[in-house]
Amino acid sequence: MRYSRFFLPTLKEVPAEAEIISHKLLLRAGMIRKLASGLYSYLPLGLRSLRKIEGIIREEMNRAGAQEVLLPLVQPAELWQESGRWDRYGKELLRLKDRHQRAYGLGPTHEEVITDLVRREVKSYRDLPLNLYQIQTKFRDEIRPRFGLMRGREFIMKDAYSFDVDDEALEETYQAMYQAYCRIFERCGLNFRPVEADTGSIGGHASHEFMVLADTGEDQIACCTSCDYAANVELAEVIHPSDHPDVRPSRPMTKVNTPGRRSVREVTEFLGISSDQLVKTLILIGDGRPVVALLRGDHELNEVKLRRSLGLEDLDLADSDTVQRITGAPIGFAGPVGLPGDLKIIADQDLFDLTDFVTGANEVDAHYTGVNWDRDVPRPEFADIRFITEKDPCPRCGGEIELRRGIEVGHIFKLGTKYSEAMGATYLDADGRERPIVMGCYGIGVGRTLAAAIEQNHDRNGIVFPRHIAPFEVIISPLNVKDALIVEAAEDIYNGLMAQGIETLLDDRRERPGVKFKDADLIGIPLRITVGKRLKEKNEVEIMDRATGKTISVPRDRAVEKTSEML
Ligand code: 9G3
């Protein structure tokens, strides 16, 4: 490809709205342009990388026995009504009407569509296992799209759906997908970790997220430094010492005046206690009913764990009026002592052995000190409802936990029969019995993978593309296109590389050397061949490895051979 005719509008500066480096570099390297909030156009350079990632995904999905299909973006509302999700999702599901006033949704995912297809075509256990995937546009009307391709509203996803006779067969499929994902992200040159994850709204049981480790990642993961345990902090379990030391109350419960002291810091400073002696009381609304959560002052409530342990669909913090109504006091003075008996109270397991603790007194400007279970307040239910911290032991091996940030580029789920039962996707087993198909689903954000690769592979001069997803493998920079010798040599090497099928960009622009070097560094092509004054002096050209900066000089006639060796 000749740069002078290639639509590649690089930029020196980027709009202030680009907050993270991958967004800045995707814009500066002329790979994407914003159409509207959360909507991006891929320009030729960006599309070449996107297609490389898709190609790797296709190869590994096909190798794992999956078959590619292509499903419509526009989905009939009826299917989502059958699965019960039409009313579960709010504005994120963009709904539209056709000319006959029939209702549709723009597909954010395709469980309903694929289950409808399979329920019509699969009848017997002989038709299973089946694994169908697509690489297709999705639309999720995010309330606040940001970070460029990282959280767009319209984005390209590879989504696969597996169909098996039972849980055991699903386990095999799930492992095959897990391995395929590891190969995909390895081949994309990413430093990633599969982590145990919550199944979220999709339902079903187990799931794994594939996280690209990056400080700009929106997700937090707990990684063990000794074993390969890694889990999204939403799920990472906290090990509680099983032995309960025989502890005794040593103080009476006393009401103390704490004027205007609401937060953990204000109360603990005012009373001169440490935060692990304070029990904070949070009021929430779970599926419409109040729930009281008790935690040590130095711990944070993990709402996903609380929601799961109570088997709730929805769970949110109560507003200040509700807190006032339920506890009789404003936020900051709530406590477990004297609450109405019918209230659901859950305490984090680390409160089990606590004695002489401090709580709100359910009265403005008042707290209790010296509170003890049983004597002053009945023991509630105990559960693991807090976020793991770096002080907690690894739940697998007891080793040290490290909290890292990650970008979720893939997520695989064991769905079970949630959709097949809701939509009547069944098969006849060998005994002629009708049974629901057991499903799994497996997603990769393709654009997000490209952005994550840039988050992980850049320096102050620009992108440093991993070889297999780079838009080109080699860029040739003739430094003076008015010099016939230089042009002839550059063209000759270009033709030699293209003849070997090496994707090469020839920077034939009438630009100064500095501009050519800056652009070559910015777009991050793995190898750069410079044709400059060394050609006349020693009949040599320079080959630079973008990742290491290492530069070697080779005789012009060996440039093609040396370059293909280096790739
Ligand atoms: C919706 C909307 C947003 C959504 C969903 C549904 C996320 C939804 C979860 C999944 C699960 C898997 C197959 C590929 C891998 C991920 N956001 N999810 O179901 F209506 Cl608006 O999409 N689906």
- Please work out whether the CB of residue 108 comes within 6 Å of at least one atom of ligand 1: yes
Determine whether the shortest distance from the Cβ of 77 to ligand 1 is under 6 A: no
Instruction: Flag the least confident range among 127-141, 194-208, 338-352, 454-468.
Output: 194-208
Cβ(444) to ligand 1 under 6 A? no
Distance 151 CA to ligand 1 centre (A): 14
Q: Whose CA is nearest to atom 3 of ligand 1?
A: 108
pLDDT surpasses 70 at 494: yes
Mean per-residue pLDDT for 404-430?
96
531, pLDDT greater than 70? yes
- The partner residues of 211 in beta bridges, in order of sequence, read 193, 408
Question: DSSP assignment of 132-181, as one string?
Answer: EEEEEEEE---SS-BTGGGB-SEEEEEEEEEEESSHHHHHHHHHHHHHHH
pLDDT of residue 484: 96
Residue 434 pLDDT > 90: yes
- 94 in contact with ligand 1, CB cutoff 6 A: no
Cβ–ligand 1 distance for 236 under 6 Å, the answer: no
In tens, the pLDDT along 108-135 reads: 999 999 999 999 999 999 999 999 999 9
* 430-437 contact pairs (CB < 8 A, 24+): 430/125, 435/165, 435/166, 437/118, 437/122, 437/128, 437/163, 437/164, 437/165
For ligand 1, atom 19, which residue shows the shortest CA distance?
202
Other CB atoms within 10 Å distance of the CB of residue 538: 11
Alpha-carbon distances, residue 366 vs 239, 276, 322, 325, 328 (angstroms): 33, 19, 19, 17, 12
Say if ligand 1 is within 6 A of residue 86 CB.
Answer: no
pLDDT at 198: 79
Sign of CA dihedral 341, 237, 390, 398: positive
Ligand 1 pocket member 93 (CB < 6 A): yes
Q: Tell me, what's the pLDDT at 110?
A: 98
Predicted confidence (pLDDT) at residue 204 exceeds the cutoff of 70: no
Query: Is the bond into 129 cis (omega within 30 degrees of 0)?
Result: yes
What mean pLDDT do residues 187-204 have?
Answer: 83
Residue nearest to atom 23 of ligand 1 (CA): 109
For range 169-193, the mean pLDDT: 97
CA of residue 108 to ligand 1 center, whole Å: 6
Q: What is the β-pairing status of strands 344-348 and 381-383? A: parallel
- DSSP 8-class letter at 486: H
**Does residue 56 sit in helix, strand or coil?**
helix
Q: Residue 244's pLDDT is what? A: 77
Contact 109 CB / ligand 1 (< 6 Å): yes
Q: How many angstroms separate the alpha carbon of residue 138 from the centre of ligand 1? A: 10
Coil vs helix vs strand at 288: coil
- The residue whose C-alpha atom lies closest to atom 18 belonging to ligand 1 is 202
Mode of pairing for the β-strands spanning 458-459 and 438-445: unpaired
411 lines ligand 1 (CB under 6 A): yes
CB of 202 within 6 A of ligand 1: the answer is: yes
State the average pLDDT for the chain: 95
Strand-pair category, 527-531 with 540-545: antiparallel
Task: Please give the distance of CA 373 from its chain centroid, rounded to a whole number.
Answer: 41
- pLDDT score of 245: 77
Provide the 8-state DSSP code for 331. T
CA 374–ligand 1 middle distance (angstroms): 45
Asked if residue 21 lies in contact with residue 149, where contact means CB atoms within 8 angstroms, the answer is no
Residues 226-266 have pLDDT tens digits of 999 999 999 999 998 777 777 788 999 999 999 999 999 99
How many Å apart are CA 155 and CA 138, to the nearest integer? 5
For Cα atoms 300, 301, 305, give the angle at the middle one, nearest 5 degrees.
135
> What is the tens place of the pLDDT at every residue in 267-306?
999 999 999 999 999 999 999 999 999 999 999 999 999 9
277 CB-contact burial (10 Å; exposed 0-12 / middle 13-18 / buried 19+): middle
Tell me the best of 88, 151, 202 to mutate to test the pocket of ligand 1, counting ligand atoms within 8 Å of each CB and taking the most: 202
Of 82, 73, 83, 74, the residue nearest 103 (C-alpha) = 74
For residue 226, give every residue at least 6 positions away whose Cβ sits within 8 Å of its Cβ, in sequence order, or none.
Answer: 394, 397, 399, 400
- Asked whether 350 and 296 are in contact (CB, 8 A), the reply is yes
The answer to whether residue 167 scores a pLDDT higher than 90 is yes
CA 419 to each of CA 49, 426, 490: distance values in angstroms, whole numbers, following the listed order:
35, 11, 59
The protein residue whose alpha carbon is closest to atom 1 in ligand 1 is: 108
Q: Is 408 in the pocket of ligand 1 (CB under 6 A)?
A: no
- Judged against a pLDDT cut of 70, whether residue 202 lies above it is answered with no
pLDDT band at 205 (very low <50, low <70, confident <90, very high): low
Residue 203, pLDDT score:
58
Give bridge partners of residue 522 from the DSSP assignment.
none
Dist. CA 408 → ligand 1 center (Å): 14
pTM of the model: 0.90
Question: Is 28 touching ligand 1 by the criterion CB < 6 Å?
Answer: no
What is the Å distance from ligand 1's center to 140 Cα?
A: 9
Cα–chain-centroid distance for residue 554?
44
Q: Which residues contact 484 (CB under 8 A, 6 or more apart)?
A: none
Cα–Cα dist 463/369, whole Å: 58
In 201-331, beta strands by DSSP E: 205-213, 219-224, 230-232, 254-257, 279-286, 289-296, 315-317
Whether the predicted pLDDT of 70 surpasses 80: yes
Residue 286 and residue 344: Cα distance in Å, rounded? 10
Closest ligand 1 atom number to CA of residue 160:
14
Strand extents, DSSP E, 417-509: 426-428, 434-436, 438-445, 458-459, 462-463, 474-478, 504-506
In angstroms, rounded to a whole number, what is the distance separating the alpha carbons of residues 446 and 56? 11
pLDDT digits (tens, 9 = 90+) for 210-231: 999 998 888 999 999 999 999 9
